[in-house]
Amino acid sequence: MGAPAPDLEQLVRGELLQPAPAAAAQLTAEILRRHGSAVAAVLFYGSCLRRATSEGVLDFYVLVDAYRDAYRSRALAWANAALPPNVFYLEIDSACGPLRCKYAVVSLRDFARSARPGGLRSGIWARFCQPALAVHLRDGAVREAVVDAVAVATVTAVARSLYELAGESDSARPGGPIRFATAGLWLRVLRGTYSAELRPEAPGTIQSIYEADPERYDRAARAVLARMGAEVRDAGGEIEATLPADPKPWARRGWGRLRPLAKLVYAMQLLKTAATFGDWLPYALWKLERHTGKKIVPSERQRRYPFIFGWPLLLRVLWRRDLR
């Protein structure tokens, strides 16, 4: 039967509560200054966390109590409530040079709701079935709520793929076991969760996410199976699992039917992000310079009126999938 599966909440808690890198802590301090006491938690995730670097744009989710308390602008609060999250760019100076980040503002309630089965924001599952780090947690109640939501997001992402795999398997009779390699399962999970986005991650990027820590993903898969109540045994380097015979309604319905609606929601979100991103011209220039290797100098008109004349730069960044 193999070693006992780790507890999913324990695994998630252990990852979230790791010490924060200095760059993430400095950026979080500025985020807290911007949004004040409304911030319940700040979660660091993504490629900079995975590669343990501050070179690039760090990614954060900022979980707030209420949108109206997080902004001075009623329009921003309304936009956040109508179509969460709002996404912003932040750049600060530090002793080691400029630090950059994107951060998404969403209420703790909406974050937890999106992590559950049936939600349309697969980006929550895609990002938080991967390791994340809680740079700021206001108190113990928030800590436990975040741990629970991240664990639920992981189950949502993995369980969908497991039941889809069971439905496609020629050898699996109804209620019978399925066999899979952990690597194949996680590649399927990540492809499926990112696929609702208009420009999903490239196959090489998805492969690199898994290869960054295969042992962690093996532990997480086994923890999800244990949480689901599946019967599991090792089978020649693969996992053989018998899933619960009566899956949740969302697993029977399948993600395929919801994917077109999720894509529409994502398209609307992307358009809103272009409008609320803030001082996006320096970000667009920096991204384009990284891709081209050439210093790009905006025109005087683009500097003075970025929302009128800066759109060609922004559209080039959007085309390269860099504003997410």
Predicted local confidence at residue 206, as pLDDT: 85
Q: Does 198 have pLDDT greater than 60?
A: no
Verify that 34 and 89 share a domain, yes or no: yes
Predicted local confidence at residue 121, as pLDDT: 66
Verify that 268 and 292 share a domain, yes or no: no
Predicted local confidence at residue 250, as pLDDT: 45
114-160 pLDDT, tens digit each: 888 766 666 788 889 999 999 999 999 999 999 999 999 999 889 88
How far out from the chain centre does Cα 45 lie? 7
- Report H helices in the chain: 8-16, 22-35, 47-50, 67-70, 74-82, 108-115, 122-128, 140-168, 182-194, 203-211, 214-228, 249-253, 259-276, 280-292, 300-304, 306-309, 311-319
Asked if residue 211 is part of any domain, the answer here is yes
| 229 SS3 class | coil
Q: How many domains does the chain have?
A: 2
User: Of 84, 152, 120, 123, whose CA–CA distance to 255 is shortest?
Assistant: 120
Which of 1-10, 66-75, 251-260: highest mean pLDDT? 66-75
Verify that 113 and 253 share a domain, yes or no: yes
Predicted local confidence at residue 104, as pLDDT: 93
Structural domain harbouring 197: 8-272
Asked if residue 190 is part of any domain, the answer here is yes
First-last CA distance in the chain: 41
185 versus 277: which is more confidently predicted?
A: 185
Burial 269-297 (b: 16+ CB within 10 A, else e): bbebbbebbeebbebbbbbbeeeeeeeee
Beta bridge partner(s), residue 136: 42
> 36: pLDDT confidence band, cut at 50, 70 and 90?
very high
Over pLDDT 90: what percentage of the chain?
Answer: 44
As a whole number of angstroms, the distance between CA 82 and CA 104 comes to 14
Query: Starting from the edge strand earliest in sequence, which strands make up the sheet with 178-180, in order?
Result: 178-180, 238-242, 231-235
Q: Does 322 have pLDDT greater than 60?
A: no
What tokens were used for 207?
Answer: 């492969």
Asked if residue 130 is part of any domain, the answer here is yes
Verify that 314 and 294 share a domain, yes or no: yes
Verify that 196 and 136 share a domain, yes or no: yes
Verify that 252 and 288 share a domain, yes or no: no
Q: Does 285 have pLDDT greater than 70?
A: no
Q: Does 2 have pLDDT greater than 50?
A: no
Predicted local confidence at residue 1, as pLDDT: 41
306-318 pLDDT, tens digit each: 555 556 665 665 5
Asked if residue 228 is part of any domain, the answer here is yes
Q: Does 91 have pLDDT greater than 70?
A: yes
Predicted local confidence at residue 166, as pLDDT: 81
> 32: pLDDT confidence band, cut at 50, 70 and 90?
very high
Verify that 99 and 175 share a domain, yes or no: yes
Asked if residue 3 is part of any domain, the answer here is no
Which of 40-49, 123-132, 247-256: highest mean pLDDT? 40-49
Verify that 191 and 310 share a domain, yes or no: no
Verify that 304 and 162 share a domain, yes or no: no
The Cα-based distances of 309 to 87, 238, 259, 294 in angstroms read 21, 55, 35, 20
| CB of 276 closer than 8 Å to CB of 87 | yes
Mean pLDDT, residues 211-219 taken together: 94
Asked if residue 315 is part of any domain, the answer here is yes
**Region for 36 from its dihedrals, namely left if φ exceeds 0, alpha if ψ lies in -120 to 50, beta otherwise:** left
Verify that 120 and 170 share a domain, yes or no: yes
DSSP 84: S
Q: Which phi and psi angles does 134 have, rounded to 5°? A: -90, 105
> 237: pLDDT confidence band, cut at 50, 70 and 90?
confident
Mean pLDDT, residues 272-291 taken together: 62
How many CB atoms lie under 10 A from the CB of residue 195?
A: 16
255 versus 185: which is more confidently predicted?
A: 185
Mean pLDDT, residues 153-182 taken together: 79
**In this predicted structure, which of 22-31, 205-214, 266-275 has the lowest mean pLDDT?**
266-275
Q: Does 44 have pLDDT greater than 70?
A: yes
What tokens were used for 2?
Answer: 């193999």
Beta bridge partner(s), residue 235: 238
Verify that 18 and 112 share a domain, yes or no: yes
